[in-house]
């Protein structure tokens, strides 16, 4: 794979200066090398970011980069005069030599900076479509390639209207969605979230990636998927049917802290001091002689939880009913519940929970106070 040519074409594409011939060349490269999508997302992230806010000592990191990757992308170096507060976008407007200089910075950050692949907006010739669901709303729709997507409440999915024309089909997700992907062996389907990226050919699976939660989960029903943790593109994980993968930030999780995996035999891999990868099986729950798959029950308009704390359940109730819940008494957060919600009102749900663990509550407009 010609990294230098790929980076050059991607840069011209993001800058809106790519020609039709170059775009066709890039699409052909995508078909042969689907992993180019990881390079593209890093470039977009740098394009939209502020160098001064990245917290990176460019000179120091570049010296490390030379020792590790000499000759990988560049043959000669140019010193860059980067003034405080300048945007990368401004640098791209300089001459071709400085554009190659920016590639050096991109190379450094690609291997050194644990950043996000996710980019909500696209510029130039790309025409983006964005679909959002409010709290309390779940929606089924079709993507241009025929893929079915069930979008859960308080979620957002964006994609290119021209996704049928390129060598790869990619979407960006914030929140939770269930995908039934149309099979196309020549054009992989890629889901990009804040913490992980998932590549598939054709399969059915669920992804939960709410930006305000520490956990990002992927549950596979059938087929196979390849998963990459953002910032670690060389490490890839394959999931098999009925397997589940969770990426947790900021703490090392225990089974008792993570109810949805507590019933499975799981394999933990510590990726970094603040990231844990947990591989287990999907959660089948029996309630009143009915079996539910907890991770995808929402697709059938059922909210299922088993032995979860009230603190874990509250965010789900807020999205399900489109309201805000405040717990005044900290002891209530440790109360554990098992149940399923279908058409019950929030009053009915809280009254039922009171019978198991005593507490008081009041509802004012769209706010619930528990005490």
Domain locations in the chain as residue ranges: 3-112, 128-281, 302-370
Strongest mean pLDDT among 37-51, 280-294, 322-336: 322-336
The token duo for 95 is 């001459």
Query: What confidence score (pLDDT) does residue 37 get?
Result: 64
pTM of the model: 0.64
Query: What confidence score (pLDDT) does residue 348 get?
Result: 94
d(C-alpha 304, C-alpha 298), whole Å: 8
- 105, pLDDT greater than 60: no
- 250, pLDDT greater than 70: no
Residues 6+ apart with CB under 8 A from 125: 13, 16, 18, 23
Query: What confidence score (pLDDT) does residue 284 get?
Result: 86
Identical fold, 128-281 and 302-370: no
- 254, pLDDT greater than 60: no
Q: What percent of the chain lies above the pLDDT cut of 70?
A: 67
Q: What is the mean pLDDT of the chain?
A: 75
Long-range CB contacts (< 8 A, 24+ apart) of 153-159? 153/319, 153/320, 153/322, 154/210, 154/319, 155/210, 156/120, 156/130, 156/131, 156/132, 157/130, 157/131, 157/132, 158/120, 158/128, 158/129, 158/130, 158/131, 159/128, 159/129
At residue 38 the predicted structure's pLDDT band, cuts being 50, 70 and 90, is low
- 194, pLDDT greater than 80: yes
Tell whether domain 128-281 is in CATH 1.20.140.10: no
Q: What percent of the chain lies above the pLDDT cut of 90?
A: 41
Which of 7-11, 53-57, 140-144, 285-289 is the least confident region? 53-57
The token duo for 272 is 């970094």
Helices (H), the chain: 3-14, 20-32, 36-48, 58-69, 88-91, 96-112, 310-321, 346-356
At residue 3 the predicted structure's pLDDT band, cuts being 50, 70 and 90, is low
What is the arithmetic mean of pLDDT over 56-82? 40
271 phi, psi to nearest 5 deg: -85, -35
Query: What confidence score (pLDDT) does residue 26 get?
Result: 80
3-state per-residue secondary structure call for 153-173: CCEEEEEECCCCCCCCEEEEE
Q: Contact at 8 Å (CB) between 121 and 157?
A: no
d(C-alpha 112, C-alpha 46), whole Å: 13
Cα separation values, 363 from 59, 323, 367, 369, Å: 57, 10, 6, 6
Q: Could you tell me the fold of the domain covering 302-370?
A: Phage tail protein beta-alpha-beta fold (3.55.50)
88 versus 172: the higher-pLDDT residue is 172
Largest CA distance in the chain: 72
d(C-alpha 174, C-alpha 257), whole Å: 23
d(C-alpha 30, C-alpha 186), whole Å: 10
Strongest mean pLDDT among 46-60, 236-250, 296-310: 296-310
Query: What confidence score (pLDDT) does residue 255 get?
Result: 39
Query: What confidence score (pLDDT) does residue 47 get?
Result: 56
- 215, pLDDT greater than 50: yes
At residue 214 the predicted structure's pLDDT band, cuts being 50, 70 and 90, is confident
d(C-alpha 260, C-alpha 265), whole Å: 12
């Amino acid at each position: 794979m010609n990294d230098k040519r790929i980076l050059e074409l991607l840069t011209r594409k993001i800058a809106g200066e790519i020609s039709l011939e170059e775009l066709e060349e890039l699409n052909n490269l995508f078909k042969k090398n689907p992993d180019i999508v990881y390079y593209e997302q890093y470039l977009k992230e740098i394009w939209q970011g502020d160098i001064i806010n990245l917290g990176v000592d460019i000179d120091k990191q570049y010296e490390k980069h030379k020792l590790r990757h000499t000759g990988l992308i560049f043959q000669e170096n140019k010193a860059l005069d980067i003034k405080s507060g300048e945007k990368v976008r401004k640098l791209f407007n300089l001459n071709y030599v400085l554009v190659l200089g920016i590639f050096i910075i991109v190379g450094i950050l690609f291997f050194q900076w644990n950043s996000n692949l996710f980019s909500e907006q696209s510029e130039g010739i790309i025409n983006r479509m964005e679909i959002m669901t409010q709290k309390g709303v779940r929606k089924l729709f079709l993507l241009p390639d025929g893929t079915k997507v069930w979008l859960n409440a308080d979620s957002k999915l964006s994609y290119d209207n021209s996704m049928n024309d390129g060598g790869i089909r990619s979407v960006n997700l914030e929140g939770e969605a269930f995908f039934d992907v149309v099979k196309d062996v020549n054009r992989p389907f890629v889901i990009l979230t804040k913490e992980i990226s998932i590549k598939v050919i054709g399969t059915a699976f669920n992804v939960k990636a709410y930006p305000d939660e520490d956990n990002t989960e992927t549950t596979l029903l059938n087929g196979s998927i390849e998963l990459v943790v953002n910032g670690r593109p060389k490490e890839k994980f394959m999931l098999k049917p009925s397997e589940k993968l969770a990426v947790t930030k900021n703490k090392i999780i225990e089974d008792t802290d993570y109810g949805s995996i507590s019933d499975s035999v799981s394999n933990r891999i510590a990726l970094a001091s603040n990231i844990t990868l947990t591989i287990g099986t999907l959660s089948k729950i029996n309630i009143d002689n009915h079996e539910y798959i907890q991770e995808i029950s929402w697709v059938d308009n059922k909210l299922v939880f088993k032995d979860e704390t009230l603190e874990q359940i509250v965010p789900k109730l807020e999205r399900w009913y489109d309201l805000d819940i405040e717990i005044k008494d900290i002891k209530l957060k440790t109360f554990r519940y098992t149940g399923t919600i279908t058409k019950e009102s929030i009053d009915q749900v809280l009254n039922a929970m009171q019978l198991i663990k005593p507490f008081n509550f009041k509802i004012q407009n769209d706010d619930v106070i528990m005490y």
